[in-house]
Amino acid sequence: MPIKKMWGGRFEKGASELVDEFGASISFDQEMAKEDIMGSLAHVKMLKATKILPAADADQIIKGLEELAAELADHGLHFTVANEDIHMNIEALLTEKIGPVAGKLHTGRSRNDQVATDFHLYIKERLPKVVAAIKKLQQALVQLASENVETIMPGYTHMQHAQPISYGHYLMAYFQMFQRDVERFQFNQQHTDLSPLGAAALAGTTFPIDRQMTADLLGFKAPYANSLDAVSDRDFALEFLSNASILMVHLSRLCEEIIYWCSYEFGYIELADAYSTGSSIMPQKKNPDMAELIRGKSGRVFASLMGLLTTMKGLPLAYNKDMQEDKEGVFDTVKTILPSLTVMTGMIKTLKVNKAKMAQATHHDFSNATELADYLATKGIPFRRAHEIVGELVLKGLKTGQDLADIPLAEFKKIDPRVEDDVYEVLKPTVAVQRRNSAGGTGFAQVREQIKAAQQLLAKDNLQ
């Protein structure tokens, strides 16, 4: 016999077990049990203050909810599919505890504003944790950058050696990306820090509720201005998933380079044993599994974003049961991005930089060709012509094995008599990097500036 539902008054027959299972969300929305109790506590305190409920009834409900909160924190609560979702499960447990007076809790409220409130509280509490985890990673990047301002490596475009750069500069590029992630998640909070409570089912309520009071009690900046919007808005979750997706793009790009760079062919870095794994068959292997896993996990985060976008697209106002599908992707994303950030931070903190290997890769690779073209241009040769001349020298060098720096001065003088001995200085990779001193460039002075600004930014947060 199916159990009589809390909303079962207008139904003659119970739903089948399969339908009960299918419609239930308790298997996942129990993740918001704490938030649900908090929301109910704020609601009943408001019902008491506005005298919508007699104080004695409200006090019983408050006491019951507080006990449930304590039990939840202590050993967890027992939920059932029969009670469908977290909201009705909590109410059922409250009823078991204090009797039918529990039924007064739902006065002037609907599960529609209740679920939206829980979900806002859930994301609101996690956003600062995400931001803090990104900042820890930024801190690790800045530290490694500060140790590698003068570490020279090839800079790539099209995965081809382009111009030599500072490894510190490279790391600071990721710092900047993660800074934008921080800002996006912080902005996300503006749209999360709003209280839907009191919107009721969709249209507000005839009870003289105080929405400002519940918003204040729950620590929300303000109540939603429009009740229809309050119950049907999931932008805050979409923003979260979108921000998380961009974050995962950044992490995944960094992972990709880590994976390449610790390969035999590159050998630029070595991951700590703690962040590597071996092979069950090949004894020599040291695999960058953690980087691969973070790169791989980007897929599920993007999937959650696509899932919710698709769920929300075309939904008429206000609440539709489709929206029950909003939670799992968000929960999973929280559980994906936080450890991904922590693992990445550990990986960055413990990796070993093979400075010699990096520097070596900038020799005999013609990545100083731009230096020579720029040098000739400063002597008065139009840059287009200088580019052509150097292109021909590179072509010749590739055939003969002669580096640009190995070309005798007499040969250079044949190109242009204004070429002097100082050309050899300019052709050194370190000098090439050092001289790229335009604002935001890879010149050492510029990289130091970036690092200083980043350290000042992070110092404001007082991270340990």
Residues that bind ligand ARG (CB under 6 A): 25, 29, 85, 111-112, 115, 319, 321, 323-324
Question: Among residues 158, 232, 298, 340, which one is catalytic?
Answer: 158
252 in active site:
no
CA 460 to each of CA 65, 124, 129, 415, 456: distance values in angstroms, whole numbers, following the listed order: 39, 22, 17, 55, 7
Q: Measured between alpha carbons, how far is 26 from 111 in angstroms, rounded to an integer?
A: 14
Q: Measured between alpha carbons, how far is 24 from 3 in angstroms, rounded to an integer?
A: 14
Nearer Cβ to ligand ARG (135/234)? 234
Nearer Cβ to ligand ARG (142/241)? 241
**Which token pair is 438?**
């335009």
CA 149 to each of CA 115, 145, 339, 432, 445: distance values in angstroms, whole numbers, following the listed order: 50, 6, 29, 14, 9
Nearer Cβ to ligand ARG (112/188)? 112
Q: Measured between alpha carbons, how far is 310 from 325 in angstroms, rounded to an integer?
A: 10
Question: Among residues 279, 363, 364, 367, which one is catalytic?
Answer: 279
Q: Residues 6 or more apart from 222 whose CB is under 8 A from it? A: 193, 194, 195, 212, 215
Nearer Cβ to ligand ARG (112/243)? 112
- What are the φ and ψ backbone dihedral angles of 212, each rounded to 5 degrees? -65, -40
CB of 48 to ligand ARG, least distance (A): 25
CB of 322 to ligand ARG, least distance (A): 9
Residue matched to tokens 């035999």: 264
Q: Measured between alpha carbons, how far is 222 from 189 in angstroms, rounded to an integer?
A: 12
- What are the φ and ψ backbone dihedral angles of 383, each rounded to 5 degrees? -55, -40
Nearer Cβ to ligand ARG (123/341)? 123
CB of 64 to ligand ARG, least distance (A): 21
Nearer Cβ to ligand ARG (25/148)? 25
Q: Measured between alpha carbons, how far is 339 from 190 in angstroms, rounded to an integer?
A: 25
Nearer Cβ to ligand ARG (170/319)? 319
Q: Measured between alpha carbons, how far is 130 from 239 in angstroms, rounded to an integer?
A: 14
Nearer Cβ to ligand ARG (325/403)? 325
Q: What is the DSSP code string of 207-231?
A: S---HHHHHHHTT-SEE-S-HHHHH
| Contact in structure between 226 and 167 (CB atoms under 8 Å) | no
158 in active site:
yes
CB of 235 to ligand ARG, least distance (A): 16
Q: Measured between alpha carbons, how far is 136 from 345 in angstroms, rounded to an integer?
A: 7
CB of 28 to ligand ARG, least distance (A): 9
CB of 2 to ligand ARG, least distance (A): 17
Bridge partner list, 165 = 153
362 three-state secondary structure = coil
CB of 213 to ligand ARG, least distance (A): 23
CB of 118 to ligand ARG, least distance (A): 9
Q: Measured between alpha carbons, how far is 407 from 403 in angstroms, rounded to an integer?
A: 7
Q: Measured between alpha carbons, how far is 127 from 122 in angstroms, rounded to an integer?
A: 9
Q: Measured between alpha carbons, how far is 444 from 348 in angstroms, rounded to an integer?
A: 21
Which are the catalytic amino acids? 158, 279
